[in-house]
Structure 1
């Protein structure tokens, strides 16, 4: 009787081990798996040790990213993920309320109110209005791109997606980045044009025009960098499928530099009006209220900080930018 239980246990163990076979992985990943098993003190056929081990997963992922193509690294991750029975989560639905609020409801409400004021003749049309129209158009474009991206697997684990969807994911990421840069640059330009209409000080206006020039220079520089990050350009969305990534600049480092510069510029836009308001001959309480009104631009600063944090988080999971 005891021998029967031993045979049944052995059979179950062999059956479980067959779910994860080292030989199923790309050849470049096998040395990584063997090295990870030593680090984690796990047998490569012992799923009860391999699957719960974050150390094993991290070593394999880091090693395959350095030793394999991105495509093979994804394949290796998918084999382990499937064998261990990890869930295929879809995080996108959870973010829909925040996305709709931040990129549809609030911008649309602000835009409509602005147009109502113009239509009623309460304020004349100016360059600040033209640039905010440009910003609103690109916000809508970014929202549409984000919606299309969701249909290709945004929010899902990249290694679980069909190959076509992986390429589409990087295409949509490329498109969203460009639209994001244009949107924020147009918003800053609109704020600066508004300051030019409000504040008459000649010295201050020179500072505003200098900031305009810097804003345009930053936008041009980062737009060119993001468009030509890879040579040829289409490597930005095809690099994962068999090489060519050596011809691309590291997007995580570029994103961090861009995020820091944009946040600094946003903070500067908050400081500018405060320097003028506190020189006015009015009560401190009113000065504070006026400063707070101009300080509504902190919204874009907050978005920049959140984005910088998300870039930092993304660097921890290079195989899963979605």
Structure 2
């Protein structure tokens, strides 16, 4: 559904831009619009008689949308397309997506909640009858990696997560993917340690003969597919 909606946003921007140039003859800054895009969108406009249609009619015309969309996607580069969309996105009164506030709030809330439960566990180990064990150490290490995960997520939001990609610069996109790599590795290692902590907890809690044979297989599964939890 999101892809279909973004495609429609893209096409509506094309329609308005074309209307301004060909019909109204108003001056438009074309520095960010490549020759490929200009040639591509002008062809269906000239060949199908859209020059007599109004702005609103062009915005609603699915036939023109399909022709323009197909041509730009097939003949022009991704960067050319993104630059064009960025310069014409306000064409038919369309606003860009910006979910940074929601993502940032969710990330902080989840991080605070995780820290709260970790603090409860630490306090229970200090004040309770049970001593600090290997499972607690593994959980503490996973929490340290979770901090890295939260920080990298916040940085990803800063560099473009939650926004349309065509409003970002090449530097922002490159930096975003660098933090994405950090985020993925932090998630992978943190989840592996959490699984290891659970296995150690069960192993220590119940050392029966039958159960003692189980962790070997679970260890292999945990370390080979940490994303399966």
- TM normalised by structure 2 equals 0.71
1:87 aligns with 2:126: no
Conserved in 2, the CA contact under 8 Å of 1:20 and 1:47? no
Within the candidate set 12, 34, 41, 1:26 is matched to 34
Q: What is residue 140 of structure 2 aligned with on the other side?
A: 133
Once the two structures are superposed, residues 228-282 of structure 1 have per-residue CA deviations (whole angstroms, 9 ceiling, x without a partner) of: xxxxxxxxxxxxxxxxxxxxxxxxxxxxxxxxxx3xx43xxxxxxxxxxxxxxxx
Look up the SS of the partner of 1:137 in the other structure.
helix
Instruction: Pick closer, same or farther for the CA change 1:24–1:159 going to 2, 3 Å.
Output: closer
Separation (CA, whole Å) in 2 of partners of 1:57 and 1:64: 11
* Alpha-carbon distance, 1:140 to partner: 0.9
1:120 aligns with 2:162: no
Separation (CA, whole Å) in 2 of partners of 1:121 and 1:191: 20
Q: What is residue 224 of structure 1 aligned with on the other side?
A: none
Q: How does 1:212-231 map to 2 (within 5 A)?
A: 212-219=219-226
Q: How does 1:252-271 map to 2 (within 5 A)?
A: 262=227, 265-266=228-229
Instruction: Pick closer, same or farther for the CA change 1:14–1:96 going to 2, 3 Å.
Output: same
- TM normalised by structure 1 equals 0.53
Separation (CA, whole Å) in 2 of partners of 1:205 and 1:25: 66
Instruction: Pick closer, same or farther for the CA change 1:59–1:109 going to 2, 3 Å.
Output: farther
Unaligned runs of 5+ in 1: 1-10, 220-261, 267-322
1:160 aligns with 2:177: no
Q: How does 1:288-303 map to 2 (within 5 A)?
A: none
Q: What is residue 24 of structure 2 aligned with on the other side?
A: 15
Look up the SS of the partner of 1:87 in the other structure.
coil
Separation (CA, whole Å) in 2 of partners of 1:79 and 1:57: 18
* Alpha-carbon distance, 1:28 to partner: 4.6
Structure with the bigger RCO (C-alpha within 8 Å, sep 6+) is 2
Q: What is residue 234 of structure 1 aligned with on the other side?
A: none
Separation (CA, whole Å) in 2 of partners of 1:117 and 1:27: 67
Q: Choose 208-217 or 63-72, whichever is displaced more.
A: 63-72
Instruction: Pick closer, same or farther for the CA change 1:164–1:113 going to 2, 3 Å.
Output: same
Q: What is residue 157 of structure 2 aligned with on the other side?
A: 150
